[in-house]
Amino acid sequence: MKAKQNIKQLVNDVLAKRPASNLKLSGFKSKKWDGTSNICDCGDDGDCCSE
C-alpha cells in the first residue's frame, strides 16, 4: 500500500501547484476519420456530467 501512496502524493503535489480553474478547455477535434478514439482522445465534445 505504501507504494501506491507515493503516486498519490506525487499527483497531489502537482495538483497543489495548480490553481482550481473554471477555464473551459475545448481542444481541437479532428472529425476526419472515425475510429481514432483511444484512451487519450476525448473523442467527443459532450459536456461533463459534473457541470
- Residues near ligand SF4 (CB under 6 A): 39-40
When asked if residue 1 is in the footprint of other proteins (CB under 8 A), the reply is no
Work out how close the CB of 1 gets to other proteins at its nearest, in angstroms, rounded to a whole number: 11
Question: Contact at 8 Å (CB) between 9 and 3?
Answer: no
Work out how close the CB of 23 gets to ligand SF4 at its nearest, in angstroms, rounded to a whole number: 10
Which one, of 24, 27, 50, lies nearest residue 40 by Cα? Answer: 27
The CA distance from 9 to 7, in Å, is 5
Residues that bind other proteins (CB under 8 A): 2-4, 6-8, 10-11, 14-15, 18-44, 46-50
